[in-house]
Amino acid sequence: MKESIYKDYEELPLFLNANTVAKVLGVSPASGYELMHEKDFPSLRIGSRIVVPKEQFLQWVKQHTKGGAV
C-alpha cells in the first residue's frame, strides 16, 4: 500500500482528480480512476474531465469505513 502524501483533509483541493483520490487513499492511479467510475462514487463530469468534490469524497470515505472518523 502506498502512503498518502496528505496529512490532513484540510490540505485537499476543493475538487479531486483520479490522481489525488489515489494518493489520498494510498492506491495506484489506475485504482483511483477505476473507483471514480463506480456507480456509488460521488464523481462529477466536467467536459471530458472527471472530478470529485472534496466534501462528497470525505462523506463517501466516512460511509465506507467501519466506525472511522473523518
Enumerate the β-bridge partners of residue 51: 44
Domains of the chain, earliest start first? 9-63 (1.10.10)
- The string of pLDDT tens digits covering residues 5-58 is 777 888 899 999 999 999 998 899 999 999 999 999 999 999 999 999 999 999
Q: Is 22 strand, coil or helix?
A: helix
- What pTM did the predictor assign? 0.80
User: For cell 462514487, what's the residue?
Assistant: 41
Task: Give the Cβ contact number of residue 59 at 10 Å.
Answer: 13
